[in-house]
Structure 1
């Protein structure tokens, strides 16, 4: 048995000097023990250090041209042979496979505890499963760090410790942890087990950024077997990580106002380093969201990057395509879900998709309705295998998904994309792999559960993009930024949240138990972060950035950085003062714009609707945008029914009711022997007919049906009074056009909700409304200001006496008539005024944006006319004055 020897490397030298010293001391140690260097193995903390270590050790004359074998624990284990295959259902270390087996175990445990999935809070089962897998992975890693001979005793102690906690009442989490221990103890084998059987002439370990449990266990086993072992410790003492650090770095501390400014400052710091030829440059990913934004800014500037951190595979375009496909296939998926998927479907022609969207949004302009219909049918047929109801095994779901991707050519396209290939591999769509089949056959899911499983599977994987050609900027985590020959390091996120004591993550393995079992704790993670920060002081140039606030939340300096500054002050070293981030700023003079004054005499529409005429009266520019440019705000494809859907449904109910009633009366006159029609039953039949015609979900319509049940008898009472006064239904939903010399060549067109006929042949236009009664009363208070009823009256001409009213259908005491007094006079005034206005516009008059009144508050064209950026009225008046120089 031998001892593991320890040599401390200097903490006050730069990175090249550190590696030169490590090589020299390793060579001297081997010579002193007459050990052949080429038969020794040197282990590094992570793979990015291998190139610099091999280069430096190869140049060390003490090795005589034969340096040690240089690896990391993982690369050495891979070189020694393929990883062992876990038995089906046992923990394997592969998160996706383990999650399948864990789901079954958690369900069994819930049943044994007297619970079932229905007794668990919705969404808690996936969370419990994730916690179970996390605990198993942490326990497995701790066990694999021990020599195989020591593991049985460790598992026995862990089982006893967790079983005691699980014995208490209602300790579900404790029972899950105990089950995780039992699951792992059934059979733990890892690729690194071969390291304990490897017998080099000597082990040499470079320790940087904290000790590694696996390496420590390996050295202990080597020492017990009599194999010489050396630890080259590059870290300062853990109790005072910053006390012995004499920093050679040129350090800048920049403070930005918010996250966007911090990202811009980080990008500027990278560009500064490149301009000064301090390459390569490390961009440290402490704050992942911030670094994503910084990366985007650098890409925009044409800076090639090598991103070692990547991002969740679930956020890639390839993953989004698969999620969109499954969402579209789910029962009850709305139009938005279909359109999202169709935007990615290779078989969806853009023009056909645009036509389908226009059709679904109720647009008046659908370019190719036939193509839209064909696309909808083809899409439905493609989704059918996924949309079939029922539960099936995970393997069956994956086979169906693979079949859909193969059928439309998506599979080949995904294979040719870096992220797409990783998505296919993560989901086993290009081959199952070991340990997959039995677990995937045992798990049965419906489509929603399969979608949730797929989302979790993709969130568990990281997509690392290929490096750009010629990249000298490396995006890397803090733990892998150390010991590398960077010319400069840029570290955004040097604040109390990202470079400090982070909030504890939920875990079945608490810190106390972790410390007892030798599982890494939060305290050890914090120490690793401090040691990594101390190692960064070796680089030539370091820029530390933080922001003052983020969405109103204040951000303080990093406590580790404050500790470092305190140690520098004690040593009499100069401070690193905070400086405002030197962001390039430009003072831009305010440049308000004048209200638009378009003229389109030759482009005026030949027919006008009531909505277009009302827009012209409200604001000529709004008319220009709506009627001349033919712009319209796209309707939302909401899955839940809105009040406007109820209004459309109620309009159709009343139309079917009155049309059916009139047809029945015509077929069976009252003087015949047939019984009188049952209006209440007919109204209910009309409601069912309208529901089917509009393809509305009866369950979603239920709240509105409750209102309708109260409305129906009130409407029939109103109708009885209305008919007793001599009125009867003449027609509904009828199209009308009106042409007059005053308007020529323009004609008016519109659809009337209802026309009744009364005493003396008088006709009455009734417009159904589900809006506010007060708003309707305001509209007719000034009769000449109400456009809609006057427009409808104009459509019917002035040959017969005419009345008009709004019928409010959605008030507590509905229906309520709000009559328009003297509507024929208002119609004549409307036609005359509209004719004058159209003649002005045809002569080239400008369609001004008025920018006043209540209509401006909710106008969908406000961004187009730029109302909020106009010049002040006084300046506009001065510019309009005669003699003003442009």
Structure 2
């Protein structure tokens, strides 16, 4: 086999093209020639170079076939024995790890997600071992070799390899990996199957073969070239990173190539000296061993920098303060190049997070983009919707997962009035602070209430339909969830796949996913799982819900999603650093050039040490770092303009530094008087501060026709708060909390007392004695608090506090009855039309906590409060700010008195004195409220302004603070219009 190596740079492909034609002409077999490249992205450049070389020779001719080995293998008929799927192999490793708790602990993989990550890592290392050490004899594919014999050949090769490697010093990690390799490898694995296919292909090669690549062939590719070389001429063309000519002093340091090798000696590739074991030497050359020690390069003296050649690309290193600045600088540079008429520019996504943000900025600018990096399928909306379903299952109706799933366009997309139903469901969940539980969710809309529980207003037909839709949504999800096994229940893999298919159909997700690019790729990935029950490991494996979810997550992490892009004459190509090999662009931006990302560590090294990989003869961290140095040098050699960006500060404000490789390059340029460092200038926006005064909008057309006590209290508290919350409808949603709030306990106590007094009234007032009434009250308390206490232990404390209050409440009630009062109704919805001076009546709605009737026929309205009587007495003086009790008086014209009732514990003394606080001059307060309400509403209808005059208490938790901008006014004086 002939080997040629040329320096990387803009002349490489031209030299390679001319060499290929010379080789084919010398062979005299150009008709059946094949030129192999590592990746499909390199095919267009190679074809163009071959065509240019032929034309330059004055003899245009038909090009040989240029393709990858994978494409060439498609010419062969498929194997009779199918190749084992990645999912089946991963499941087999997981099942093997399942009973090895010591192993999971040793590698920090106690959680299910980490365990599947460990399984994936083991699988990857097993494949590397097969590619590196598997003997040719182990993959014989003669017609007379049966499946069992093929497996014995493979196991024999594995045992010989283990014995060979055992002669070296092997640590515990390496022995564990080799044991798994022996136990899990089979003839139907992808690597042995590919080796057999390549052997078959090598026996039927029709003509010369040329390997043209920026890196040496992998062991499996090198074996194919050796086998093909026994029948046809074979030539390998690659990069020369050895620097042998420079080390011998033949040319000295004259060009950009020499300068980069001097600055980055890690990029120098010098094979180690031959060893006694020739196979080890061949393997070292195959993986590309970097130079170790002094390679004889005359400029590698401490503190000495090479000179800067005159012929070099235009370089800039831009340091940005933070993540957003780096993404903005990259996007602006790429757009500027396109606007200048450049047609093919590139973004090297060495920092994937910055690259994603840059991609979003480019989309906003309308720039044509082709993304070759391929995002993980797990990061798409489609995969997120699927994983949210499993979060909903494991969380037993967790409301955060529920709302996320319902808001996904892939869940129940054809549900009628879907948006309105979800909005109602979310409002109710947040209002009632429900954090989860299928029972509580299904009971949320169980009643047929026709009023808003917060305002007491009657519900419109559209709102009623939305509430019914919300009930149906919860019923659909809870019904499907009931079909799934819970907890640690073990089921065969086939059972989980059947349930998954049924769920996709029941929730309408399959059709919705099929209409989305990422969704269709997700469905394809799930369809490949149908082969698992036919696999030996898949047929015997059993998983619980958490393990099945972790398996799906691991598989989606391993699948790449590539966003489709429209063809365009000019575009920006996003690619990884190794994707730029043997390619040229009119401008390149490399993001992520800080010392934490360049060079970058491989993810699979998280479980196993670098020493273990070195013991097993696999690529270690140093080898990979050296290849990244060569990839970076190749970008600087192939392209005329390169911009490298990095962040000076991390996400938590920690300082960062530019990559050591870039720092050496900057020092060389700075010493030559041509610095390349730059700072991304933050965009400067000139503006003038125009502080305004207190806002006071007017909106007569938005004055509500229905009023509640809460609405009028808000108007009294701050007119602007009323304008934003009630007139504009900008009230925020309540946050869902796992902890019980005082409002939740108040609602429970209301339900307890309504149940108690209703049952007491239905029994004709019996039992009459205090002990009997206390027993009834405790029975009602247990019935209401019981389900909550069973779900939330935090409710126990409130339950006990209320039990302590009950005796004094019974005592107070007895004293009130002695005065002639009897409970008549509770949680009473009431409404009246209040006549207005302008002729348009005002509708008042509310829910009265309690209505009592005196023996003389008069009524009293009572308002339950979870506050002490001492605090309630202060409300007497604030009745004009908290108008709820007088508002009850408006709703009940026959009410002659009103009181607040404390539901808190009492101190020593009379229970009645510490339980009830009456509002003095009740009739006068009601009359004042009626006059003031008419006056205020008539003014609002007439266009009166609504200033932001709330006090500190009103502003502390106000959701409209960001609208009124209090604290940034020029003056706090009232506007002239309302003085």
TM surpasses 0.5? yes
- The alpha-carbon distance between structure 1 residues 316 and 776, as it changes in their structure 2 partners (threshold 3 A), is farther
Mapped partners of 1:326, 1:508: distance in 2: 27
CA pair 640-630 structure 1, distance change in 2 beyond 3 A: same
What is the aligned counterpart of 2:642 among 532, 536, 542?
542
1:9 touches 1:18 (CA, 8 Å); kept in 2?
yes
After superposition, give the CA deviation of every residue in 1:372-424 in whole Å (9 maximum; x if it has no partner): 42564376357635531435433333334334444676434433432122111
Are 2:482 and 1:387 aligned?
yes
CA deviations on 1:29-65 (whole Å, 9 max, x unpaired) are 5666x56455554432322111211221244347984
2:146 matched residue in structure 1: none
Partners of 1:439 and 1:517 in 2: how far apart? 27
Instruction: Give the conservation status (yes or no) of the 8 Å contact 2:850–2:861.
Output: yes
Check whether the contact 2:859–2:895 (CA below 8 A) recurs between aligned residues. no
Q: Indicate if the aligned counterparts of 1:415 and 1:421 stay in contact, CA closer than 8 A.
A: yes
Q: For structure 1, which segment, 394-403 or 344-353, has the greater mean C-alpha deviation from structure 2 after superposition?
A: 344-353
Of 357, 361, 364, the residue aligned with 1:300 is 364
1:246-285 alignment, distance < 5 Å: 248-285=312-349
Within-5 A mapping of 1:820-835: 822=920, 824=922, 825-835=924-934
Q: Closer, same or farther in 2 for the Cα pair 1:756/1:221, shift >3 Å? A: same
Per-residue Cα deviation, 1:766-812 (whole angstroms, up to 9, x for no partner): 43334688875654464544433343355455863x35224143899
Over residues 205-262 of structure 1, what are the superposed CA-to-partner deviations in whole Å (9 max), with x where a residue is unaligned? 3342576444445556667999655342244658453889966321122222211121
Question: Which residue is equivalent to 1:128?
Answer: 115
How many residues get paired?
849
How far did residue 284 of structure 1 move? Answer: 0.9
Q: Does 1:177 align with 2:177?
A: yes
Q: CA deviation at 1:613?
A: 1.5
Q: 1:755 to 1:116 in 2, by over 3 A?
A: farther
Rounded Cα–Cα distance in structure 2 between residues aligned with 1:163 and 1:808: 78
* Distance 1:192-1:74 versus aligned 2 partners, 3 A rule: farther
1:287-327 Cα shifts (integer Å, max 9, x gaps): 11211111111112111111111212122233234334555
Which residue pairs with 2:16 in the alignment? Answer: 22
Distance in 2 of aligned mates of 1:482 and 1:374: 56
Contact 1:251–1:543 (CA under 8 A) maintained in structure 2? yes
> For residue 939 of structure 2, what is the aligned residue in structure 1?
840
Distance 1:9 1:222, change over 3 A: same
**Structure 1 unmatched runs, 5+:** none
Report the CA distance shift for 1:523/1:78 in structure 2 as closer, same or farther (over 3 A). Answer: farther
Q: Judge conservation of contact 2:700–2:942 (CA < 8 Å) in 1.
A: yes
Contact 1:208–1:234 (CA under 8 A) maintained in structure 2: no
- How has the CA–CA distance of structure 1 residues 618 and 517 changed in structure 2, closer, same or farther, with 3 Å as cutoff? same
SS of 2:763's equivalent in the other structure is: helix
Residue 385 of structure 1 contacts residue 400 of structure 1 at CA under 8 Å; is this kept in 2? Answer: no
Q: CA deviation at 1:466?
A: 1.6
Normalization by structure 2: what TM-score?
A: 0.76
Alpha-carbon deviations, 1:349-378, whole Å to 9, x = none?
463541453266345656242464256437
- The aligned counterpart of 1:98 is 89
| Aligned equivalents of 2:673, 2:5: Cα separation in 1 | 27
Q: What is the CA–CA distance in structure 1 between the aligned matches of 2:164 and 2:692, rounded to whole Å?
A: 74
**Residue 866, structure 1, aligned to residue 866, structure 2:** no
Distance across 2 between alignment mates of 1:216 and 1:812: 90
Question: Which residue, 615, 628, 649 being the options, matches 2:748?
Answer: 649
What whole-Å deviation, never above 9, does each CA across 1:611-670 have from its counterpart, x for those lacking one? 11111111112223444445543345667755533332222112212222233243x475
Query: Would you say 1:705 and 2:796 are equivalent positions?
Result: yes
Matched, 1:662 2:662: no
Paired residues of 2:380 and 2:518 also in contact (CA < 8 A) = yes
Query: Is the partner of 2:689 in helix, strand or coil?
Result: coil
Unaligned runs of 5+ in 2: 139-153, 244-260, 269-298, 300-305, 429-451
8 Å contact from structure 1 (residues 609, 750) kept in 2: yes
Q: How far apart, in 1, do the equivalents of 2:738 and 2:157 lie?
A: 55
659, 662, 665: which is aligned to 1:564? 665
**Paired residues of 2:595 and 2:658 also in contact (CA < 8 A):** yes
**1:458-509 Cα shifts (integer Å, max 9, x gaps):** 2221110122221621111010112112111111111112223548755443
Q: Give the TM-score normalised by the residue count of structure 1.
A: 0.83
CA distance in 2, matches of 1:776, 1:159: 83
How has the CA–CA distance of structure 1 residues 350 and 137 changed in structure 2, closer, same or farther, with 3 Å as cutoff? Answer: same
Which segment is superposed worse, 395-404 or 299-308? 395-404
Tell me the secondary structure at the aligned position of residue 585 of structure 2: coil
Shift of residue 729, structure 1, vs aligned partner: 5.2
1:680-695 equivalences in 2 (<5 Å): 680-690=774-784
Stretch deviating more after TM superposition (221-230 or 36-45): 221-230
Contact 1:621/1:849 (<8 A) preserved: yes
Give yes or no for contact 1:777–1:818 (8 Å, CA) kept in 2.
no
**Local SS of the residue matching 1:860:** coil
Asked whether the equivalents of residues 387 and 549 of structure 2 are also in contact (C-alpha less than 8 Å), the reply is: yes
Q: Which residue of 1 aligns with 2:277?
A: none
